[in-house]
Chains A and B, each alone.
Chain A
Amino acid sequence: MTSEHLLRELAPQVLGAVARRFRDFASAEDAVQEAMIAACTQWPKDGIPDNPRGWLIQVASRRMTDQVRSEIARRQRETAVARDEEATAPTVDIESDMDPDDTLILLFMCCHPALTSSSAIALTLRAVGGLATAEIANAFLVPEATMAQRISRAKQNIKTSGVPFRLPFPHERAERLPAVLHVLYLIFNEGYASSVGAHLQRLDLAREAIRLTRCAKTLLPDDAEIAGLLALMLLTDARRAARTGPDEELISLTKQDRTLWDRVEISEGIEFLTAALSKGSVGLYQLQAAIAAVHDEAARAEDTDWPQILALYELLKRVSPSPMVTLNHAIAAAMVHGPSKGLELLRTLDTDARLAGHYRLDAVRAHLLEMIGDYESAIKHYRIAAGRTTSVPEQNYLMTQAARLDDNTKGADKKTAAPFRGHDPTQ
């Protein structure tokens, strides 16, 4: 393991230990960053110490103690308080630091529902992921100063909210876990959705999300939804290499070269999913993972077991109803019962305010209209969708779909229009 990887691995453990001992998250974070910087300059010179975690905790604790001492000295100068206050400066005890729960506490704290999701994401990547502010800023394409401010505000919010630095009680944990899973899911999505185009030099957020979720799974091995989420990430990430073409254009699931799919990730994902499903309570991440698994198991697009996917979407609709689920359910229904059935289901979404003006509704409608052969309406809806998406690769994809249909229908023979070859419901 390189020292960079080692530091990233150790950062949350060290931060957890120091924050727990000094009961001050914001200062602990600064002290741990200083210890990390010290390690970056000293380790390459002197070699990695025998107990790197102990080394980091000691350096960070010394910084904290110095800070507490200088704070006390300042107060003494100002108010001449009794000397015995120095006794409140905590002592360092390396051997009692090895509490694996510290990382878990950090995770719960950073994914606190009191924080906005953008703050929670940034703080989680920094504190639990051990990433530098510059790396996180780069991943989200915002200036470093902006990200630093976002992180420091998040820390301030935690401080003022009075969240105690301890593991939530079991009943709180059940309540808070969805927020943790959601933050991890958002990190993955951010990485996966933007893993095209000009951003190759960006930090790989999808990989980071997988790493963090793996870590969460180790800490809470009995939770079926964490395992489900990890399975979902692996089963989706497995298709990454096939998802874009040589010019970084999006390739829909049905047209992907399936030999490029990562078999190791697929089998690992299926293994986690199978174990999770056997635990009984089936949640939304397990269901989404199951849908991803059905796609991954089809050797060719035409081998896809659509009836099974349809059944899974029906379950998902019951467990976690949302307009996005209905949208994907409509696609699965179209694949099983024909496009008219899909279009019928889409009409139920026309009055849904949560989806009003969302490009995905027009994109799916366009696909289904193409499927029934109404090319003129399909072109219209592809273009509406292209005008509404905020993703450049997606926009290029949708404009190209419209142009392709337009080329074909303008040709002498309308029958030459490219046949519908399915839609990627998970993209």
Chain B
Amino acid sequence: MKYILMMNTMRAGQGVPKWPTKDLQAHIAFMKDLNKDLRESGELVAAEGLSFPNEAKLVRAGKDCAPITDGVFPESKEFLAGFWIVDVESPGRAYEIAAKASAAPGPGGAPLNMPIEVRPVMSGPPPEML
């Protein structure tokens, strides 16, 4: 079964983390290792990091479907920073991976405990119907 793990972090305006070099490097290394482990276990379907919120635009269709774009959203508390799609044996395994990602090291090497939203991916008919 497939799950999307959505990593929410960094409020609007905060942008690039201003951490000391060694903490930044530890964080980067952690994320690389996590992706490597998921790839090697055969559970990784996709993983993408998203650009920082200052590049985000909110788009709505206006007259004649012409796009109306809006700048950054100051009212938003949290932003989607990136996501993983994993194909795992059980929901429990998806939560386990999410918890691991959530504990990525931040400043001073302390776990960030970021909220990670886990939701099943709608992926075709249920197995018994195949």
Contact = CB atoms under 8 A, between A and B. Distances in A.
Interaction A to B: yes
15 contacts: A198-B35, A383-B16, A387-B52, A387-B54, A387-B55, A388-B54, A388-B55, A392-B49, A396-B28, A399-B16, A399-B17, A400-B24, A403-B20, A403-B24, A406-B21
A386 B32 contact: no
A205 interface: no
A392 B50 CA distance: 10
A247 B29 contact: yes
Given A247-B29, A390-B51, A400-B24, A383 B18 contact: yes
Secondary structure call for the B interface: helix
A173 to B, nearest CB: 40
B36 interface: yes
Nearest to B53: A387
Interface string A180-199: 00000000000000000110
B21 A407 contact: yes
Contacts of A390: 51
A388 B50 CA distance: 11
Interface residues of B, number: 20
Contact of B51 (A198, A383, A388): A388
Contacts of B16: 383, 386-387, 399, 402
Interface string A387-417: 1101010001001101110110000000000
Contact of B20 (A247, A383, A388, A406): A406
A403 B51 contact: no
Contacts of B21: 400, 403-404, 406-407
Contacts of A387: 15-16, 51-52, 54-55
Contacts of A404: 21
Contacts of B55: 387-388
A268 interface: no
A140 B82 CA distance: 19
A406 B54 contact: no
A403 B19 CA distance: 6
A248 interface: yes
A392 B21 CA distance: 16
A102 to B, nearest CB: 39
Nearest to A401: B21
Interface in A240-285: 247-248
Contacts of A197: 32
Contacts of A248: 32
Interface string A92-103: 000000000000
